[in-house]
Structure 1
Amino acid sequence: MKLLALRRLFRIQRVIVRYRLDDLLLALPLPWGLRLLLRLLPWRWLPRRTLEMPRGERLRRSLEELGPVFIKFGQILSTRRDLLPGDIADELARLQDRVPPFPAAQAIALIEQQLGAPLARLFTRFDPQPLASASVAQVHAAQLKSGEDVVVKVVRPGLEPVIRQDMAWLFLLARLAERLSRDARRLRPVEVVSDYQKTILDELDLLREAANATQLRRNFEGSTLLYVPQVYWDWCRPQVMVMERIYGIPVTDLAALRDQGTDLRKLAERGVEIFFTQVFRDSFFHADMHPGNVFVSTRTPHDPQYIGIDCGIIGSLTAEDQDYLARNLLAFFKRDYRKVAQLHIDSGWVPPDTPLNDFEAAIRTVCEPIFEKPLKDISFGQVLLRLFQTARRFNMEVQPQLVLLQKTLLNIEGLGRQLYPDLDLWVTAKPFLERWMRERISPLRLLRNLHQQAEQVPQLTRKAERALERIAQGGAQPAAKRHPWPERLLGAVLLLGAASLGVHPDPQTWPAWSMLAGGLYLILRR
């Protein structure tokens, strides 16, 4: 294993030398010790031919040559335009998932090994020529014995050892960066690499992707917005997945979409609606919505429907992140910069000692010039990026759970503007967010959440009773002889707590509602 890791390291080194990546590092404001180390690298003393490629192209080509881990890492890095020069970010955005296919014989052998039967017994027809080939897997067209047209997705053989070796080296570089640079510590590279490792290893498990696809299909069952192909679970294994074959138009084929009379404006607006529905209604969003994974149905061009495939990367947010994100966006729409600044502090996205007035002024400086332009000329994704750049001055830490969200939002915006350049993303998004916030404080939602909180009260009460008994009786008196005063006292304390916090129909006051319910339960129980 160590020998393989060393071989991999030498290959990485060869790519670094070939594309002069050490020159890119020396162009950065690195600590003097690291700069000296780079200057002393042996190959820098050897004659080298001149490369005419721009630095961004050199970086992109090196990542493509190094394989799936580096390709996907470059794709994720390309979404952090607040951290990268524009020319490098533009080149990284060109990274493609398409790679040369592996031999059909290997794919067939793996399918037969995973499904435990010869190919002829599994399928009526199987096309050895892959429909598509990506960095992690490739897909083949087939037909089940029952007559359904399907696609068979197969993981590339031997990927996991290479991925784990590459991740080990990425962790080493991330830890080194944290030691050498204060800015790097703010960016939390080890945590970002850790999240990335989980994401790419999850992609190797096609049972997880099948489960994601099934859940996403269930979330949009009967919807005219998005169709997700059916998964055939009887033919799914960790390295093989069989699902319904879809027939649609690639979303980037604008000529074909126009030829069939597709309402491109509605199509673009529905892309935005799908994104916000997944993020805020379901907290379960497709986080790999590059054009290769998006098709458009041919059935109802006047009422267009998306088709989504490849659910290997799924993102989600906690209820707290959902709430803070929605409030930030709505405050931004209303030009309430003070609230945007306060929400960043409350959420922990910037340090608690951040000067509120200074932070508000910095956000206003970024946003006000934008609002002087027509809304259709404003890039929503770029606005978010500029806000992140401003927050960087105030030591805003990277939020790894939001990296996938930002990547997906930029993909959706870019896709929407390609389909319909006059797309007004703000006008499309704002009503959805306002409706979502209203529903969060609707009487029905309040009652449902109060009921969920109340269901936990008896369990919390039993724990509190046992604790108070031990305090009041020193642990000597048996539980059967306890007096009722401890629970009455606890109930009174909970009621006082609820009164001090204030109980009103706001999502942030659930602790007060919980205290109120618990206090009444303890005082009134017999």
Structure 2
Amino acid sequence: MVEPHTCRPSTRCCARRMARPARQRGKPMSRGERLRRALTELGPIFVKAGQVLSTRRDLVPADIADELSLLQDQVASFPGSEARAIVEQELKLPIGRLYAQFGETPLASASIAQVHAATLHDGREVVVKVLRPGIDAQIARDVKLLRSLGELAQRWHPNADKIRPLDVVAEVEKMLENELDLQREGASASLLKRNFASGVDLYVPAVHWELTSARVLTLERVHGISSDDIAAIDAAGLDRKALAAKGVRVFYEQVFRDNFFHADAHPGNIWVDPTRRDEPRFIALDFGIMGSLPEADQYWLAQNFIALFERDYARIAKLHVDAGWMPADVRLDELEAAVRTVCEPYFTRPLSQISLAELVVKLFQTARRFQLTLQPQLILLQKTLLNIEGVGRMLDPEIDIWAVAHPVLKRILRERYSPLHTLRDVRKQLPEWFHLAPRLPALVHDALQRVARGEQRLLADADAMSHQSRLVHRLLRMIAGCMLGATLLLCAVLLWALAPQHGPWLSLGLGIGGLIAFGFGWSRSR
């Protein structure tokens, strides 16, 4: 089931409603509603800014964040004939050669692009996403204005250090830069589809690359129910409790298994497949905003979640410092006490009533007193966590987020940081190590000679240089041991396969020798 989005009313009509006194409309508007309406009137770029600001619940008051989360960037559509012309210009063929049928009436219209239904010559249904004409120049003009407003706010707003308006503007610019490249969006959809190739939990429409460019994206057309349409989901006979739990699992798998997550997961972009009664699943749409984390942040964040699930407040405090998110001179006992003060009141409630997203937001607010430094990727993740938990609780108000998330995260970490996974990583890096190994002694010798001639200032003291030298020798011993071990293992396999007349004992002996050599080389690197 595909439902066209409702286009935004004309600016003039909206302006008349805004100008009408609040008392004539029944009740005064809240400050959040006034801000939301003002951003809507200013146009799409400011709507995007409000959407980003709504994710900063650690900085923005809750009532304003709630209102800003209602912002939609739906605008009046542009003519279908223009969309047709853009498609023909981008794909270098007449529309009739590209599609058997192209609907000029858009299915949906937003600030950056609009979507049209089409049919391929083999009968398959697709949707064609087309960037608005002149959108690049409009966005550049609006971003320049938005940056000027951000600079004014940075200088004059009394809470500028908390709101950080220039950071918000930078986040909007980055978001829009990604959304203006539809080929990038197609690549994101393709990767997400590969990560969930089975299609059991999450289905991602296929990209038709031969009909895709930077300004045109052609995707398989899918039919589903918006995840907030509870009546339609019930009418389809789907198990909402199973769906809610699956949504939480899919989120943690995206973030911690694949390190690539859908960062705009509101109900309009997350549908439910009405045809899968026995095994309900979600359908993902709109891949313009995707997120990933640096590997280090991913590890520290996962460990923080585990410690939070297990109420290990001392470990949470230590992890924040070890990750570099807080200064090293922070008193761990005070940070631990602050974390405990936030968390303990939550744990007096039934687990099904604890909002993990709300708790994370309050932890961020508390941590800011200890000079917490957050990366934009973590803010994007916070927004996604809020969206996913909201979808989960709409589907199943009694869902125990903790009971679902904890075992999933532990399983992912167990697999990701297992000895087998570590050996695979080592195997990937071996060619680079082998390439560098012969050059290391010469590089060290050359560097020492330059220092001795005064051509390069020695930045480290004698103890540090000695430590670096020991590290180099350990690396060389490890590489030598690993190479010897790998050679012996290869000889054992070849002997077993090509010369069975010598019996198994010689091959077995070589294999054991190879394992011992490999283990010796690895142990000498420790």
Alignment of 1:218-237 (within 5 A): 218-237=194-213
The one of 92, 103, 119 aligned to 1:116: 92
Q: Is the partner of 2:345 in helix, strand or coil?
A: helix
Query: CA 1:397 to 1:169, structure 2 compared with 1: closer, same or farther past 3 Å?
Result: farther
> Partner residue of 2:38?
62
In structure 1, distance between residues paired with 2:368 and 2:471: 42
Q: Report if the CA contact (8 A) 1:251-1:294 is conserved.
A: yes
Q: Report if the CA contact (8 A) 1:331-1:339 is conserved.
A: yes
> Partner residue of 2:214?
238
In structure 2, distance between residues paired with 1:166 and 1:397: 29
> Partner residue of 2:6?
none
- Amino acid in structure 2 at the alignment position of 1:455: P
- Amino acid in structure 1 at the alignment position of 2:400: D
Q: Report if the CA contact (8 A) 2:437-2:476 is conserved.
A: no
> Partner residue of 1:261?
237
TM-aligned CA deviation for residue 182 of structure 1: 9.1
TM-aligned CA deviation for residue 121 of structure 1: 2.7
79-88 or 325-334, larger mean C-alpha shift = 79-88
The one of 414, 417, 423 aligned to 1:447: 423
Query: CA 1:316 to 1:86, structure 2 compared with 1: closer, same or farther past 3 Å?
Result: same
Q: Deviations over 1:75-125 (max 9, x none)?
A: 121121221122211210111132221222221221222222332332222
Alignment of 1:64-143 (within 5 A): 64-143=40-119
Q: Report if the CA contact (8 A) 2:49-2:168 is conserved.
A: no
Q: Report if the CA contact (8 A) 2:59-2:163 is conserved.
A: no
TM-aligned CA deviation for residue 229 of structure 1: 0.6
Q: Report if the CA contact (8 A) 1:187-1:398 is conserved.
A: no
Gaps of 5+ in 2: 1-10, 20-26, 453-465, 478-516
Q: Report if the CA contact (8 A) 2:53-2:168 is conserved.
A: no
The one of 162, 167, 187 aligned to 2:138: 162
In structure 2, distance between residues paired with 1:308 and 1:169: 33
TM-aligned CA deviation for residue 489 of structure 1: 11
TM-aligned CA deviation for residue 136 of structure 1: 1.2
In structure 1, distance between residues paired with 2:241 and 2:210: 40
In structure 2, distance between residues paired with 1:335 and 1:68: 43
Is the aligned partner of 1:413 residue 2:419?
A: no
Instruction: Tell me the TM-score normalised to structure 1 length.
Output: 0.79
The one of 429, 437, 451 aligned to 2:413: 437
Q: Percent identity, aligned pairs only? A: 48
> Partner residue of 1:362?
338
Q: Deviations over 1:229-266 (max 9, x none)?
A: 11111111111111111111222221121112101011
Is the aligned partner of 1:327 residue 2:303?
A: yes
In structure 2, distance between residues paired with 1:81 and 1:191: 14
Q: Is the partner of 1:290 in helix, strand or coil?
A: coil
Instruction: Tell me the TM-score normalised to structure 2 length.
Output: 0.79
In structure 2, distance between residues paired with 1:323 and 1:73: 30
Q: Report if the CA contact (8 A) 2:338-2:366 is conserved.
A: yes
TM-aligned CA deviation for residue 388 of structure 1: 0.8
TM-aligned CA deviation for residue 294 of structure 1: 1.4
Q: Report if the CA contact (8 A) 1:192-1:400 is conserved.
A: no
TM-aligned CA deviation for residue 348 of structure 1: 2.0
In structure 2, distance between residues paired with 1:176 and 1:361: 38
In structure 1, distance between residues paired with 2:519 and 2:142: 52
Q: Is the partner of 1:292 in helix, strand or coil?
A: coil
In structure 2, distance between residues paired with 1:194 and 1:519: 50
The one of 125, 131, 145 aligned to 2:121: 145
Q: Is the partner of 1:153 in helix, strand or coil?
A: strand
Matched residue count: 451
Q: Is the partner of 1:241 in helix, strand or coil?
A: strand
Alignment of 1:152-301 (within 5 A): 152-179=128-155, 184-185=160-161, 189-301=165-277
TM-aligned CA deviation for residue 350 of structure 1: 2.0
Q: Report if the CA contact (8 A) 1:494-1:519 is conserved.
A: no
Q: Is the partner of 2:268 in helix, strand or coil?
A: helix
Q: Deviations over 1:312-335 (max 9, x none)?
A: 111001111111011101111111
TM-aligned CA deviation for residue 194 of structure 1: 2.5
TM-aligned CA deviation for residue 134 of structure 1: 1.5
> Partner residue of 2:502?
none
TM-aligned CA deviation for residue 494 of structure 1: 4.0
In structure 2, distance between residues paired with 1:462 and 1:61: 66
166-175 or 105-114, larger mean C-alpha shift = 166-175
Q: Is the partner of 2:130 in helix, strand or coil?
A: strand
> Partner residue of 2:324?
348
TM-aligned CA deviation for residue 449 of structure 1: 2.1
The one of 333, 337, 361 aligned to 2:313: 337
Q: Is the partner of 1:423 in helix, strand or coil?
A: coil
In structure 1, distance between residues paired with 2:449 and 2:71: 69
- Amino acid in structure 2 at the alignment position of 1:358: E
> Partner residue of 2:511?
none
